[in-house]
Structure 1
Amino acid sequence: MTDTGYNFNQINPDYFDVLRPTQLPAYKNQYGTDGNVFFGVRQSMLGFNSSTQTRYGELTTRFAFDMFGVGVDAGQTTFHLLYAYAEMGMFGVGHNWGLFCDFDGFPNAVEYWGPSGMSLCKNVQLRFIPLNGRNRLAFALERPGASADQGVYRDRIELSDVNLKFDVPDLTAEFRATRRWGYVELAGAVRKIEWVDEGNEAYDLSGKVVGWGFNLSTNLKLSKKSLFIGQTVIGKGIQNFMNDAPTDIGIENDFGNANAPIKGVTLPLYGYTAYLNHQWNEKFSSIIGYSAVKIDNSNGQSADAFRHGRYASTNLLFKPFPNVTSGVELQWINRENYKDGWTSSATKIQISFRYSFKEEIKK
């Protein structure tokens, strides 16, 4: 897959070919100049699936990667693991989409990152699936993780020896009912987040909180050519389950407590996504939709902390042959800060070309 286009505004250069509201500038000219052309092949991917019959049933595996660098590799064209997962009967293990998210709620877009208000998170997990079919029920123990915003206190020495502790996994679950009109899915998550003050300063900043969330999503077949995609997410301390959201934990002032004048709290979150996929004919299709995520900030966060992100896009895709897709997509995002009055927006036009192929090997 090859992507090219034009960014009318500035964005974090590590994410030059996608639009993420959290990566918009938090102050004027944080990321240099407006108006830049981009080219990339980072969406190119390769995957391997297998199916093996055993005495206990069918064993399926999936291993896949693309070239979109994230984390320490942000901005690079490099190996990025997507799937390393195996499933047999009621059990699954490995790296896959977390149960809290619904990847079927991703619109038919060519932009890699997609709507900011939906939950999208891959994770290493142990999965139990007692129902799988017209009705699906699944539970998972997932690798724990969280992120913290130390706000206006980020440079204080007292915070330098506060470390996160994860002694229990995240618990997630989903139930999906599929019918001829589409499906509806409800997912939930609960997690323990703890931090330990291991220093000798006067303050003891240790603490722990419980994060939780619910995700209600659906695909509705409005007609033979139109599909509505919707999703609503609500919770606290679940930001790293989201497609594009900031930290799970914020600083709250507690000046009445002489031993711990500040404390960590889970940040409430609300997100939603509404998109329409429409097939004009056998060769042309389009999407149009809007998504947003909003954070209730804590009073110890800095004035330029992320508060509200918005995302919208529309496209026209052309599929001249079964394995070839090309198209043009218009995307817009917006960021609103906590309390300094700053807002910023970005608009991007993207043109993409994708060729898909597969080979099947039978014993």
Structure 2
Amino acid sequence: MDALFCLFLAMALSPQARAQSKDPAIPELKLQIAKMQEQLRDQQAVIEQMQRHLAELEAKETAHVAAPLPSPTETRTVTAADLPQQEPASRIHRPPSAMAGVEEPLPEGYIRLGETGSLLRLDVIAQLDLMFDNKFMGEQDLFVPSSIPVQGSPFHDSDTRSNLSARQSAVRMDFRRNTPYGLLKVVYLNNFFGDGGPDMDYNLQYLYGELEAEGFNFLAGYGLSAFTDIDAFPNTLDYEGPNSFTFKYTPQVRFSPTLYRHGEGRLTLPMSLEKPNADIAVLGDYAPYSRWPDATLGLRWETPDWHVQWANLFRDLAVQSATGDATRTTEAYATQLTFAAGVFGDDSIQGWASAGKGYADFLQDIAGLGLDAAFNPQLELEAIDAHGYGAGYTHAWSDTLSTSASYGHLRIDPDADLFLDPGLPESTSFASLNLAWQFSDRAMMGAEWLWGRHRDLTGATGEAQRVQVSLRYDLNP
């Protein structure tokens, strides 16, 4: 009986006991434990990752200590591989009398600019020219045939003159950087032929950027006109050079795609838009201007041993009255053929010929004289016909001794009724002969004889001669 009572009592109380055993804190505790276990697993993964990174750093430090440290010079050495050349370098021998600072520099001589990826090459040229003229000339530091006094003009029978000049001294900086599109270049060059005075006035020559890619070159900035073929410039010690050479610095944008390749040769199509400079003999209150930029278009075939270039120039010349806003316009154009080649070992030859109308501002001897165009009696603007030609030859006596000769002739052919100053030049001629010696890797000395002839629009003529002795130091040729 007692046993049955106890069993009945247990059965009656069991639901209440089971209900009281379900404590609400238990699920929350289990959730917290699960979260802590997950955090521990994450921390363990972080610790393992940090241990692996520590092992890698210790391995690199051990290898760095074991290997000899390179010297500062070795770490900054620049080789030809750092400056990939898209085109083969010229094999035409560069004589001691060649103009310094104008050619593409060799890969040697660059330094790295820290960790920027850019390279820099600095060249400083110090040159002194001693000159003796047999008569007074308008420009003392340059031999300019158009400034020679003609018969009947002042100083035609003047005495001999002497002069010293250091204005051919120059500073050049070349920056290079490899890009995904090709080799990027920034070029800076100045000499001291500025217009501010007689001695050492700053004159900017180059400040441009150029992208040298596999199939094209793109240039933008300030430099030589695309109509100028500096590779055909003869080797004169006188900075001015032949009278008939087309030589002009100007702001520009230039694109030169490669059309064809064969062996080491390539055919390119250089074209450019350039700042116009209408050089016009004006009347009254008229002022010169241009409605659109000068444009050039050419063809160039070049190899390491020779090149030939055909260039064409298109210009717009205009004047406008300051009071009545009346305008007069005319078109101008020119074509030019130039070449240079290595011949007979280390000898070389250069040549050029140009013709057109309204391009006098590009001709070395008569630029700036207002001979692009002039008024006729009907007050119409006419572009003036002009042509020029010349040649140069260099003979190499040895690797360090050379003789160069050059000749140039130019002429303008204006209509007889144009309003022009009769004292302006109608034609000029130029000749030079020099001997130059590269007596060390970075120093040159030479002597040059120069002759010029000037004929003005009246037919009067004059001649002059100069002897020039030059000494040049080139820091990083």
- What range describes the TM-score normalised by the shorter chain of this pair? 0.7 to 0.9
- TM-score of the superposed pair, with normalisation by structure 1: 0.87
* Preserved contact between residue 6 and residue 37 of structure 1 (Cα < 8 Å): yes
The 1-side partners of 2:269 and 2:409 are apart by: 28
Amino acid at match of 1:5: M
Question: What are the equivalent positions in structure 2 for 1:293-332 lying under 5 Å apart?
Answer: 293-298=410-415, 299=417, 300-332=419-451
The change in CA–CA distance for 1:338 and 1:74 in structure 2 (over 3 A counts) is farther
Deviation at 1:92, TM superposition (A): 1.1
The change in CA–CA distance for 1:230 and 1:190 in structure 2 (over 3 A counts) is same
Confirm or deny that 1:247 pairs with 2:370.
yes
Question: What are the equivalent positions in structure 2 for 1:188-337 lying under 5 Å apart?
Answer: 188-200=312-324, 206-245=327-366, 246-254=369-377, 261-298=378-415, 299=417, 300-337=419-456
The 1-side partners of 2:326 and 2:462 are apart by: 34
The 2-side partners of 1:165 and 1:250 are apart by: 12
* Preserved contact between residue 52 and residue 60 of structure 1 (Cα < 8 Å): yes
The 2-side partners of 1:282 and 1:253 are apart by: 55
Confirm or deny that 1:143 pairs with 2:275.
yes
Give the match for residue 55 of structure 1.
Answer: 180
Deviation at 1:9, TM superposition (A): 1.4
Matched residues, number: 337
Confirm or deny that 1:86 pairs with 2:216.
no
Give the match for residue 77 of structure 1.
Answer: 200
The 1-side partners of 2:363 and 2:450 are apart by: 19
* Preserved contact between residue 297 and residue 338 of structure 1 (Cα < 8 Å): no
Query: What percent identity do the matched residue pairs reach?
Result: 24
Determine helix, strand or coil for the equivalent of 2:361. helix
The 2-side partners of 1:148 and 1:180 are apart by: 40
Query: Equivalent of 1:174, from 298, 305, 314?
Result: 298
The 2-side partners of 1:53 and 1:123 are apart by: 27
The 1-side partners of 2:280 and 2:199 are apart by: 25
Q: How far does the alpha carbon of each residue in 1:275-315 deviate from its partner, in whole angstroms, 9 at most, with x for none?
A: 11111112210111210110012322232221001100000
The 1-side partners of 2:180 and 2:156 are apart by: 58
Determine helix, strand or coil for the equivalent of 1:240. helix
* Preserved contact between residue 85 and residue 95 of structure 1 (Cα < 8 Å): yes
Give the match for residue 134 of structure 1.
Answer: 266
Deviation at 1:107, TM superposition (A): 1.3
- Specify which structure has the higher proportion of helix: 2
Query: Equivalent of 1:42, from 135, 156, 167?
Result: 167
Give the match for residue 164 of structure 1.
Answer: 288
Amino acid at match of 2:362: F
Give the match for residue 358 of structure 1.
Answer: 476
Amino acid at match of 1:293: L
Determine helix, strand or coil for the equivalent of 2:399. coil
Amino acid at match of 1:171: A
* Preserved contact between residue 308 and residue 337 of structure 1 (Cα < 8 Å): yes
Between structure 1 and structure 2, the one with the greater Rg is 2
The 2-side partners of 1:210 and 1:356 are apart by: 44
The 2-side partners of 1:18 and 1:172 are apart by: 28
Deviation at 1:180, TM superposition (A): 5.8
- Specify which structure has the higher proportion of strand: 1
Determine helix, strand or coil for the equivalent of 2:269. strand
Gaps of 5+ in 2: 1-126, 260-264
The 2-side partners of 1:307 and 1:84 are apart by: 35
